[in-house]
Amino acid sequence: MNHRIVLATHNQGKVREFRALLAAQPQLQGLSGFDPAAAVVDAATAGCSDVPETGVTFRENSLLKARAVAAQTGLPAVADDSGLAVEVLGGAPGIFSARWAGQQASDENNRRLLLQQLADIGPEHRSAAFICVASLVTPDGQEFTAEGRLEGTLLTAEAGEGGFGYDSILQPVGETRSCAQLSMAEKNAISHRGKAFTALVPHIVEALAA
């Protein structure tokens, strides 16, 4: 059985979330010898270069990355493309979330710019959602995708030290804390990425057991 899968990212925050998610899946515990800490390999460790995100939707970019990494490694590859969609901005930053403040912008730069742009927007118009489309591509060419959403409200200032990306400025619906103030288990239970990856788990089980 193959017990290795490549997560097509260089983002260690995503790698930690993905390993934690797989570790919590009962379906995977039935695979003899499966250890998510060792089985999940990130793109950098696998020697994969960055894949240009030339798609115009989360789904297109997610599949581009998974296809490229599966082809380069000969292993099942999981990728995601995700971002923040702000209602008053017509869904932006969207697919440009990681580079909202410029190509080489840091997460902090992106958050700061977005907060500045929305400084005069009242709480009733600060609805936003994290969106994720995750893809699994196997070496034999099978492809599966799933989408997850986390609805919330944009804060007016950062809150929390955990997470990454825009986590510190989005407060999920029904919560009094930002995503950055949640534990990893709490975040995975409601997050856009957790929902999308969880929907792929039955296909991941099959790929790892092949």
- 109 assigned to a ligand binding site: no
- 198 assigned to a ligand binding site: no
CA dist., res. 180 & res. 165, Å (int): 9
Point out the catalytic residue in the list 42, 80, 81, 107.
81
- 10 assigned to a ligand binding site: yes
- 12 assigned to a ligand binding site: yes
- 164 assigned to a ligand binding site: yes
Q: Known catalytic residue: 81?
A: yes
Contact indicator for 35, 66 with CB cutoff of 8 Å:
no
Of 167, 169, 168, which Cα lies nearest the Cα of 191? 167
- 187 assigned to a ligand binding site: yes
- 50 assigned to a ligand binding site: no
Amino acid at 82: S
Three-class HEC string of 72-113: HHCCCEEEEEEEEEEHHHCCCEHHHHHHCCCCCCCHHHHHHH
CA dist., res. 72 & res. 67, Å (int): 9
Contact indicator for 118, 166 with CB cutoff of 8 Å:
no
- 81 assigned to a ligand binding site: yes
Contact indicator for 53, 105 with CB cutoff of 8 Å:
no
- 165 assigned to a ligand binding site: yes
CA dist., res. 22 & res. 184, Å (int): 13
Helices and strands: H and E segment counts in the chain? 7, 6
- 11 assigned to a ligand binding site: yes
- 65 assigned to a ligand binding site: no
- 58 assigned to a ligand binding site: no
Binding-site positions for substrate read 9-14, 82, 164-167, 187, 192-193
Active site residues: 81
Annotated binding residues, as ranges? 9-14, 81-82, 164-167, 187, 192-193
Residue stretches of the annotated binding site for Mg(2+): 81
